[in-house]
Amino acid sequence: MRGVGERSINRDESSISVCSSVHLFRSCRGSNRLHGKTPGAEMNFAIVLILALSLSAPATAAETAATFAKSVITEPGLHPWTIVTFPDECLVVEFKLDPFVAKQRDLKTEFGAIARTVVPAALVKFPKLRSVQLTGLVTVRDKRGDDHEVKAVVVKFYRANSASIKWDKVNPADVIDISDKKSVSPMLATTVAR
């Protein structure tokens, strides 16, 4: 006897029952067991799966903003590292300034050029971001000859301030000065002087 929404398919003299979507978690023969599991276990699994998918949506958006920032920084050797922090929704970008040190370029100008590219583009493309923080790292050697990465410069731009800046007219050397928050290592001046 077939249940509601059930049909039989005959193949090689065997009868296979195909259930409708109404009976997704139940066996077609009326049993409350499917492969030895109770319907409560399947419902718990379904609820956990739905929660996992709904909670992964913000993480996917965060990865998208971080991936975008990495793709904007194209200079070889900078090795950008990016993440979006929650709940403040700040895109954090760290990259090495060592290639500019090796070429004896002005670090303030080079850092400003990268910031001028990343900050407005990220805030326009990802409206949920509240701020963008950029950190320039420089490798220094200590007394024992060990290399360490230190923060040469850290700037943070909030959405409100960034929207009021005409980025195409800003001199890259001035980007650090117009940021909302900044921390510039005294070492930055000595690195530029080398």
Assess if residue 26 is contained within a domain.
no
Number of independent structural domains in the chain? 1
Please name which of 77, 69, 97 lies closest in space to residue 184, comparing C-alpha atoms.
Answer: 97
Assess if residue 151 is contained within a domain.
yes
Write out the chain's pLDDT in tens, 194 residues: 444 544 444 444 433 444 444 444 444 444 445 555 566 666 777 777 676 666 655 555 555 788 889 888 888 888 899 988 888 899 999 999 999 888 888 889 999 999 999 999 999 999 999 999 999 999 998 899 999 999 999 999 999 999 999 999 999 999 999 999 999 988 775 544 44
Assess if residue 152 is contained within a domain.
yes
**Conformational region of residue 115, where left means phi above 0, alpha means psi within -120 to 50, and beta covers everything else:** alpha
Assess if residue 36 is contained within a domain.
no
Assess if residue 100 is contained within a domain.
yes
Assess if residue 49 is contained within a domain.
no
Tell me the one-letter amino acid at 61: A
Q: What is the DSSP string of 3-51?
A: -TT-EEEEETTEEEEE--GGGTTS-TTS-S-BTTB-HHHHHHHHHHHHH
What is the reported pTM? 0.65
Domain span at residue 68 reads 58-193
Assess if residue 105 is contained within a domain.
yes
Assess if residue 27 is contained within a domain.
no
Query: Residue 108 phi/psi, 5° resolution?
Result: -60, -45
